[in-house]
Structure 1
Amino acid sequence: MWVCQQIGITPCVYLNKFNNLADFCVQVLIVPRVLYYQEEEMYHFLEETILLRKREVMTGITIAMLLGLGATGTATGVSALVTQHQRLSQLQMTIDEDFLRIEKSISSLERSISSLSEVVLQNRRGLDLLLMQQGGLCAALREECCFYADHTGVVRDSMAELRGRLAQRKREREAQQGWFESWFNQSPWLATLVPTLIGPLTMILLTLIFGPCILNKLVSFVRRRLDKVDILFVERMQLS
């Protein structure tokens, strides 16, 4: 055999063509590499290969299980976030309802004070008429006259502003609420049922998707091992 710098390995060299080329060739003897192993060493090597491939299959199954558990955890986390958002919305609704009750109570109190002030002023006018000959009620009592300052208008305006804000927040909440949240609000028991079932359902779905693939890999692996065992058995029978 000839080993040339440009041509490579060639079994022969054509001199007429070689003289016109600026190439460098060396004649060599190529001997194939032959490794000899004893029978015990071959069996030991094959057993190690089988164990290694078994570990590889188990590693694939383990990775698939970890992916399934990760997907289940992700689904559970998403459902927990949805549940948390739904509970925060319920808390905001409860706070708005409490504010609305407080607003109604303060408005009722403001109307009561306004009614009481009208009664007091009416009685004051009546006493002034009765004591007109003595100069009025204040002159008869020999005290300075007291005057009523009505500040209920500020309270009335504040309560009206609070009612407007509560109504606006309610409209915004209804506008931002999706079909999923409305579904939860209509059926509160789903907030507990869905996070409980979503994990097992995800595992079943992943098993149905990746289970046949893993099973086929496992069957083909066992089939290859059985074929190698049959070949080793036949070789041993031939040697014996």
Structure 2
Amino acid sequence: MVQMFPRVLYHDAGSFEDQIGGHTTRFRWEPVSLTLAILLGIGVAAEVGTGTTALVHGTQQMTQLEAAIDQNLKILETSITALQESLTSLSEVVLQNRRGLDLLFMREGGLCAALREECCFYADHTGVVKESMSKLRRCLKEHQREREAQKGWFESWFTQSPWLTTLLSALAGPLIILILLLTVGPCLLNRVVSFLQAQIGQVKLMVIRQQYASLAEIECDTPQ
């Protein structure tokens, strides 16, 4: 008579917990994608802020330089015009004195004959100076009209209020990166969450497989 008994293996709670706790491999997963995204965002924000600041300050300095040059030219034009008017007034005084002296020395034949010298005549070239200064004034007015026409409402803010220039330059980079994050952030976040969930699922699967492999080894080592 042959009796057959099924092979039944019984594991108590202590041995089962030891198997699970002793062979469980813990993995430390750092949020690499999120860290790279944050670093990339900070870098882009810094670059955008720096580029915007440089562009704004460069345009503002160029405009200020043009205005300063025009202002200096206007000062020179005013000074030269004043000198030209003084020279014209002086020439009128000299000619008036010359006529008076000619009347006094009329019996001797005039001032030149009395002095026995060649007569000197005044050559007026102030018309060239007047014409040049008139052209310069027209050019300055034209430059001013061109600057006012090219200056938009956004640029006028930077020109009229220096504190607004500093404020907008400081906030431009963070605002741009915030808009980019609000636009592309949800998609990136979903990708990161999906990637992390997939990695966690793989880790769980590896742990379960390792636990079953350990139990199978114990069953094989147990004598019948």
TM-aligned CA deviation for residue 231 of structure 1? 2.8
Shift of 1:130: 0.8
1:129–1:136: 8 Å Cα contact kept in structure 2? yes
| Equivalent position to 2:126, from 143, 152, 159 | 152
User: TM-score, normalised to structure 1's length?
Assistant: 0.67
2:197 is aligned with 1:220: yes
TM-score by length of 2: 0.71
Which residue of 209, 212, 216 corresponds with 1:235? 212
Which deviates more from structure 2 when the two are superposed, residues 204-213 or residues 149-158? 204-213
Residue deviations 1:65-107 (CA, integer Å, cap 9, x gap): 2254135413421331122011101100010011001101100
Q: CA deviation at 1:216?
A: 3.3
Report the equivalent of 1:183: 157
Would the aligned equivalents of 1:114 and 1:152 in 2 still touch at CA under 8 Å?
yes
Residues 158-177 of structure 1 correspond to what in structure 2 (within 5 A)?
158-177=132-151
1:132-164 deviations in Å (ceiling 9; x for gaps):
011111111111110000000000000000000
What is aligned with 1:128? Answer: 102
Aligned equivalent of 2:56: 82
Q: Which segments of 5 or more consecutive residues in structure 1 lack a partner in the other structure?
A: 1-42
Identity %: 47
- Report SS of the residue matched to 2:107: helix
Matching residue of 2:44? 70
- Report the RMSD for the aligned CA atoms in angstroms: 3.2
After TM superposition, list the pairs within 5 Å mapping 1:50-65 onto structure 2: 54=29, 57-59=31-33, 61-62=35-36, 65=39
Kindly provide the amino acid, as one letter, of the partner of residue 153 in structure 1: G
Q: CA deviation at 1:194?
A: 2.5
State the alpha-carbon separation in 1 of the partners of residues 164 and 195 from structure 2. Answer: 40
The answer to whether the Cα contact below 8 Å between 2:45 and 2:174 also exists between their aligned partners in 1 is: no
| Aligned position for 2:5 | none
Q: Does 1:119 align with 2:93?
A: yes
Q: Distance in 2 between matches of 1:201 and 1:220?
A: 31
Q: Is residue 72–residue 203 contact of structure 1 (8 Å, CA) maintained in 2?
A: no
| Alignment match, 1:4 | none
C-alpha separation in 2, matches of 1:221 and 1:157:
83
Residue 101 of structure 1 pairs with residue 101 of structure 2: no
Aligned residue identity for 1:90: Q
| SS of 2:44 mapped into structure 1 | helix
The 1-side partners of 2:106 and 2:155 are apart by 71
Q: Deviations over 1:168-190 (max 9, x none)?
A: 11111111111111110111223
Question: What residue identity is the alignment partner of 1:220?
Answer: Q
Aligned position for 2:66 = 92
Report deviation, 1:123. 0.5
Per-residue Cα deviation, 1:182-212 (whole angstroms, up to 9, x for no partner): 1101112233333233334445555556666
Which segments of 5 or more consecutive residues in structure 2 lack a partner in the other structure? 1-22, 219-224
Q: Give the length in aligned residue pairs.
A: 192
Distance change >3 Å, CA 179–CA 156, structure 1 → 2: same
